[in-house]
Amino acid sequence: MIDRHATAPEICLVFPCYNEEEVLPDLLQALKVLDLGIPTRFLFIDDGSTDGTLSLLQKACDSNPQMAYLSFSRNFGHQVAVSAGLKHARGDLIAVLDADLQDPPELLSQFIAKWREGFDVVYGIRTNRKESWFLRICYHNFYRLLEKTSNIQIPRDAGDFALMDRRVVEVINALPEHNRFVRGLRGWVGFRQAGIKYARPARHAGKPSYNMKRLTRLALDGLLSFSSAPLRLSAWLGAGAALLGFGYLVYALGVFMSGKDLPEGWTSTVVLILFLGGVQLMVLGILGEYLGRIFEEVKGRPHYVMNEYAGWLTEPSPAKE
Ligand code: UDP
Ligand code: MG
C-alpha cells in the first residue's frame, strides 16, 4: 500500500459539456486560478454540442497545456460523456464535475484530503437543492426507492460529482454495459467510499439540458439496471390479480350451490377484464423495459463515436506499469 500522505498524485478533472457556451468562459476562468496543490489536468468531453462550445474548447486547449478535449460525433448523453472521460483521463486521481459550476472545483481539496485518509471514492452529497419543490420531491423519493430496491449500495443524494482513485476508474472502464448509470457503477465497484456534504449552487449560466423526460429516463436506467425488484413486483401483481379472480370464482360457485340465480354479471365481468388486462399490460411493460435494455447490450455497438480530440490527449499515454 502506498503512503497517500507522502505522494503527490496527479489529478485529472473531467467535464462533460453539452451546449455550455454561456458558462464555459467562467468555468475556464475558475480553472485558471484553481490550485489544488498537486499536478492538475483538465479533460472536456464535448457531447455533440450544437453551439460554440467546441470552438471555445479548441481555443482553450491551444493556449493551455493542462487542457484537452474530445468531441463526439453527436449527442450521446451525459452518462456516456462521463464514461468517455473516465476512459481517457490520465493520472492517479480522476474527478468528475458538471461544466456549469454546480460542482465547485475548489471543493476537490477536501476530497483529496479524504483520499489521503485512505478512501478510494469520495463523492459529493447535496445538502440543498436549488431546483423546484416538485423536482426535489422526485429526487428525494427516487434515491430512497433505489436504496430500498437495488442490491447494491448507491449513496443517497449523491450525483456524479466525485473523486476516484485510478484503480476504481480502471474497474468502471472495464464494465461493458451500455446503460451507463455512472453513480450506480461507482457504488457497485466497492472499495472504501466516503461522502462529503456540500450545498449545490444553482447553475451558473445557461439552461439545464435535463428536462423531465431525460430525468425520467435516467431514473429508469438507474432503477432497472441495478434492481430486479420491478420484475418481482410484476410477479406479485400478477399473483394478486389471479388470487382475486380465484376468490371471485369461489364466491360465484357458492352463490350457484346455494341455489340462487347468478347475478347478471355484467359489472363483475367488465371489472375483471379491466383489472386483469391492466395488470397484464403493466407486467408486459416492465418486461419490455428489461428486454429493451438487453437488446441495447446485445447489439454491442460502441458507446460513442469520436469526432476529434486535441490537447494533451494527442501525447502518447505513459505505459502502464
Ligand atoms: N451534459 C452532457 N450531455 C447531455 C446533457 C448534459 O454532457 O446530453 C452535461 C452538461 O453540459 C453538464 C452536465 O452534463 O455539464 C449536467 O447537465 P445539466 O446541468 O443539464 O444537469 P443538472 O445539473 O440539471 O443535473
Ligand atoms: Mg447543472
Please give the distance, rounded to the nearest whole angstrom, from the Cα atom of residue 18 to the centre of ligand 2.
10
Q: What percent of the chain has pLDDT over 90?
A: 35
What's the pLDDT tens digit per position in 218-272? 888 877 777 777 877 877 887 788 788 778 778 877 877 887 766 667 667 767 7
Do residues 91 and 204 share a domain? yes
Is 6 among the domain residues? no
- From 98, 128, 135, 215, the mutation candidate for ligand 1 (largest count of ligand atoms within 8 A of CB) is 98
> Which residue ranges of the chain lie beneath pLDDT 50?
320-321
Q: Is the dihedral of CA 112, 117, 120, 124 positive or negative?
A: negative
Please give the distance, rounded to the nearest whole angstrom, from the Cα atom of residue 138 to the centre of ligand 1.
18
Measured CA to CA in angstroms, residue 12 lies from 132, 163, 308 at distances of 32, 9, 19
Is 219 among the domain residues? no
Is 216 among the domain residues? no
Is 2 among the domain residues? no
- From 128, 209, 221, 307, the mutation candidate for ligand 1 (largest count of ligand atoms within 8 A of CB) is 209
Q: Which ligand is nearest to the CA of 46?
A: 1
Is 218 among the domain residues? no
Residue 100 CA: nearest ligand 1 atom is: 15
Q: Is residue 14 within 8 Å of 169, Cβ to Cβ?
A: no
**For residue 88, what pLDDT is reported?**
95
This prediction's pTM: 0.74
CATH number, domain containing residue 63: 3.90.550.10
For 272, the domain range is 229-299
Do residues 244 and 131 share a domain? no
Residue 82 CA: nearest ligand 1 atom is: 7
Total number of domains constituting the chain: 2
**For residue 42, what pLDDT is reported?**
95
Residue 17 CA: nearest ligand 1 atom is: 11
**For residue 136, what pLDDT is reported?**
78
**For residue 321, what pLDDT is reported?**
44
Please give the distance, rounded to the nearest whole angstrom, from the Cα atom of residue 131 to the centre of ligand 1.
14
Q: Which ligand is nearest to the CA of 209?
A: 1
Q: Which long-range contacts (CB under 8 A, 24 or more apart) does 228-236 make?
A: 228/151, 229/148, 229/149, 229/150, 230/149, 230/286, 230/289, 230/290, 231/286, 231/287, 231/290, 233/286, 234/282, 234/283, 234/286, 234/287, 235/283
Do residues 21 and 74 share a domain? yes
- Ligand 1 pocket list (CB less than 6 A): 16-18, 20, 47, 75, 77-78, 81, 98-100, 102, 203, 208-210
Do residues 306 and 295 share a domain? no
Give the Cβ contact number of residue 83 at 10 Å.
26
Do residues 141 and 247 share a domain? no
Q: Shortest CA distance to 18 belongs to which of 287, 209, 174, 278?
A: 209
**For residue 17, what pLDDT is reported?**
95
